[in-house]
Amino acid sequence: MIKHKLALAIAATFTLAGAVHAQSARDYINIVGSSTVYPFTTAVAEQFGKANKNFKTPKVESTGTGGGFKLFCGGVGVEYPDVSNASRAIKQSEIETCAKNGVKEIVEIKIGFDGIVVASSKKNAPMPLTVKDLWLGLAKQIPEPGTGTLVANPFKTWKEVNPDLPAKKIEVLGPPPTSGTRDAFVELVMDAGCEEFPAIKGLDKKEAKAICQTIREDGAYIEAGENDNLIVNKLVANPNALGIFGYSFLEENLDKIQGETIGGVAPDFEDIANGKYPVSRPLFMYIKKAHIGVIPGIAEFIAEYTSDKALGDEGYLAQKGLIPLPAGQRKQVVMDAKNLKPL
């Protein structure tokens, strides 16, 4: 009888929210999105499942940030996710897609910070890099030395990029375009490295953006999917390659891989937290407000995620590699989450 009433209540609520296909109840939270945020949300989901006998452990899938938003913004109803993890802020175009599909109130929760790491096997000597080196190694087009004319990237080794680097083949394993890590890497590394060239500054803004952000497609950059652990394993198998992923995956595998310095700063917890490491970004979680009170446990899950024992300086997520928010900012995040403040 109770299950029957719950099913009717959920169906009625989704009808009011504009859902078309809410035919049956779902009694667990469905979470999609960023592969970087995935281990943090999984840890919270497991803790939530253990601590709350009245609720099932949430289902967490690693789909990539862009893929997560595509699913999340598909509509309101049990067939659509309740939560989307993201390693970048939601774009205006994604908010508009959500709205077109009836997802009109979205709660944004900033959970902390992460560094994007360029890593290699521990079998290698450290390889000090700059954002300029990385752009020259990975851009599809670069200014020709001496003339400044834009040409297809001719560099095959890192030594050709910078005489101080080893004569190793340029081979970088990284995330696909659907990944928030890829978006952030393009913004924080490719854009920054590109800015150092006068030939780029002379272009109009749209053309310059395309040149700065387009990654080469000749095999030097290899899209390795949304599974960052797979990149770690490939680095171990191929000591000549570099890999791009979130800091937490470096911290979990320090016995096998190392993070390269960028601009002379190592990707460690302290320097990401204090802003010295140049390739760091905030991480987010987005909640569909129409699902709160309909899918069981969402409000309680948010409370667990934003608790001091999870997000605090000594919280269990910091132990997994999440860089905590400053105390004042964390206090505001907790307050906004409690009030379910929409974007």
pLDDT of residue 148: 81
pLDDT of residue 21: 40
Contacts of 82 (CB under 8 A, 6+ apart): 29, 30, 31, 287, 288, 291, 295, 298
Cα–Cα nearest to 36, from 12, 59, 15, 60? 60
pLDDT of residue 188: 93
Determine the Cα–Cα distance for residues 239 and 144; give it in Å rounded to an integer.
30
Delineate the domains of the chain, giving CATH numbers in brackets: 2-113+282-338 (3.40.190.10), 115-280 (3.40.190.10)
pLDDT in tens, 125-159: 999 999 999 999 999 999 988 788 899 999 999 99
Strands 106-121 and 257-259: antiparallel
pLDDT of residue 19: 42
Helix ranges restricted to H, the chain: 2-17, 38-51, 65-72, 92-100, 131-138, 158-161, 180-185, 191-194, 198-201, 205-213, 228-237, 247-251, 269-273, 298-305, 308-311, 327-338
The residues of the chain scoring below 70 in pLDDT are 1-24
pLDDT of residue 225: 74
Determine the Cα–Cα distance for residues 305 and 299; give it in Å rounded to an integer.
10
DSSP annotation of 189: I
The length of the chain is 343
pTM exceeds cut of 0.85: no
Output the CA–CA distances (angstroms, integers) from residue 80 to 34, 68, 105, in the order listed.
16, 11, 15
pLDDT of residue 22: 41
Output the CA–CA distances (angstroms, integers) from residue 11 to 7, 24, 100, 298, in the order listed.
6, 7, 21, 17
pLDDT of residue 113: 93
Q: Measured in Å, how far apart are the chain's first and last C-alpha atoms?
A: 38
pLDDT of residue 14: 47
Determine the Cα–Cα distance for residues 209 and 115; give it in Å rounded to an integer.
23
